[in-house]
Structure 1
Amino acid sequence: MNPVVRFAPSPTGQLHIGGVRTALFNYLYARKNSGTFLLRIEDTDQERSRNKYTKQILDSMNWLGFNFDSDPVKQSSRSERYQEVISKLIESGSAYRCFSTEKELRDFRKKEGSFLYPGTWRDRSADEVNERLNNNGKYTIRLRIPLEGDIRFTDLIYGDINTSCTELDDFIIARSDGSPTYNFTVVVDDHDMQVSHVIRGEDHISNTPKQILIYAALNWDIPEFAHLPMILGSDGSRLSKRHGAAGTQAYQELGYLPETLINYLSLLGWNPGTEDEIFNLEYLIENFSLEKVNKKAAVFDSKKLDWMSAQHITNKDSGQLLDLIKILKPEWGNSGLSDEHLRSVISSLKGRSKTLLDIISQSQYFFSDPSEYDQDAVLKCWKEDTSEILNSYAQEILVSIEWNDDSIDRSINGFADTKEIGKGKLIQPLRVALSGVLTGPSMVQLMLILGKDTCIRRIKNILNAVRI
């Protein structure tokens, strides 16, 4: 049987890094095994759930390329189904109404020092229950669990896990306002969606015994469980924004590529068993398996993410990068320049960039003359004879050469030889003149893209601006 998996985020904020990793591993498992990948929006928390976050989740899934195989399921649309199953459990005796007040439970906990429910209403008679109902007494619904025995399951990552029933109590499956609890809705949804494998974070391991008890009470098939290791920050605590981890939409707005995020997150808890670190989604689908998922917590490293991002930016076709930049910043390069010219700009900068925003921020001098010059750079490279060198190069050499990479390269080398100076005495101030800074693409590449007239004009500009 081909597996059915689901990703079930809550729309209470942006889709975070841990959620993306969970979605990714579910997606890879489904695609590797010719299975089904489903999406469920767990929006029963009406106070915190927002439609805008549901939209962000759907947009992020689309951006990442995680295509689900059926329309998303929203828990908020399934209230009748939950009530139907709760009624079934009450009728079968597997669940019961509990009229214990918060004060009664608080007093018991204080007296006994235990947070486990003592079963006060577990075996009350029908007459007692009906009396409370007739008096409009408030109640919760609790699952009647076995008083002894163990709940056992084999986690596909952590192995055999055993929980004694004495460690649990008759837990609540519906609150006093009638709303179902998380553990209950998850079981009903997973059953109705025919989920065969529940792949989620290890923080849900403690929920699994309760969910298994609900499956058993309903005589439903129990799915396989696989719990993914936690993602930690660099200080060993649970990953949060203070560690530099942002929401998925934020990474998109910062100019990261979706394949970068997918590549990096795949290595947080999984490895292919080789030294390879850079791969695409197709490679991951082909090589993914739960057997290669580690038990040890993974550590989120922003520097490693940026390094990996730089690799993907460098390796990506410049035309594809241009298309992505136009989506991110539609106004970029929007000055009548051809796409061919813009692709040349990107090609010159992508090897020095970690994100699309890096390309954008470094590219200004390709579109307009420098309005100011890096003063540290000027002080470093501007000597008494620099103005004369630049003026001579512009007037004696540039005006007459053919404009191609070989001619530009020969002009620089030939000029330095003729003047008997090191090439740095020409190239460094020339770079500042053309771009305003001392760093950037190769001089030949920069000049070729800017064009002869622009280069000559910018040399004149800096000669008028810098007086040493």
Structure 2
Amino acid sequence: MCIRDSVVDDRLMEITHVIRAEEWISSTPKHVILYQAFGWPQPKWCHMPLLRNADRSKISKRKNPVSLSYYRRAGILPEALINFLALMGWSFGNDIELFSVRQMMEKFEFSGINLGGPVFDLVKLTWMNQTYMHKMDDERFAGYLREEIFSPQYLKALKPLVLERMSRFEQFVDHNSFFFNGALDYKALDIIPKGKTPDELSLMLGQLVELLDELYEWDSAHLQGLVEKHKDEIKWKPKDYFLTLRMITTGRKDSPPLFETLAVLGREMVRFRIRDYMNHLAATSIATPHA
């Protein structure tokens, strides 16, 4: 039923090219047969290789930031992300890596797609973004900061959280930088609670991320209910649980109210920071309980 419906939908929308992940290859013959049965002309079929992490593992929406909203919040310019994604499985040629959408449209050929699994290299994306940032004129630079980083909507959401901790406006960025950062630096933080092991903390965080993935209403009340229920289920002390979560998501021991902070940071950023810390925890290879 699902395959038939998708074929009918594509036909009604006059789809001429079906471009999707290689995981769909096995079902393509069924689509072809349905087109033949209906007497419709076939669209062009193209299956793209799956994106990979640096360790060649498949990118997962549960483990990796895959939402455009995350990269937008992290300050990645649209043209940099489009340029970067265009090179995931395709080459412009002549070792050219930076190009406009118009240039890509003129140059693109399906025959140029590389069937090997391309690596989603965040270092390269960062380099590309920096290059595009340096090309911005003064007006767009100021406008981008005003609309994307310090947008009126975001500042309005922050106001009730940050005013209690400020007496001068010059304190705003210093006290609240974690609201505008992407990844945090955990090296100087002593996060593992006393009496807990890295494995116990990793297990707790893994469970929490899965619960957050399933949370329908992303607001402070629902976040508090979910977190407190999980804390009780795994029998962690409130101080250990809440302080750990606060430090992982803000990089600080003190911050505005935890659940309101998580609500403003948003689902993608909270998930990313928890996963990022889990990777940091695994990389440190701590084998003994925190003392």
TM-score (norm: length of structure 1):
0.31
Question: Which one has the bigger helix percentage?
Answer: 2
TM-score (norm: length of structure 2):
0.49
Relative contact order, higher structure (CA 8 A, sep 6+) = 2
Structure ID, larger Rg:
1
Question: Which one has the bigger strand percentage?
Answer: 1
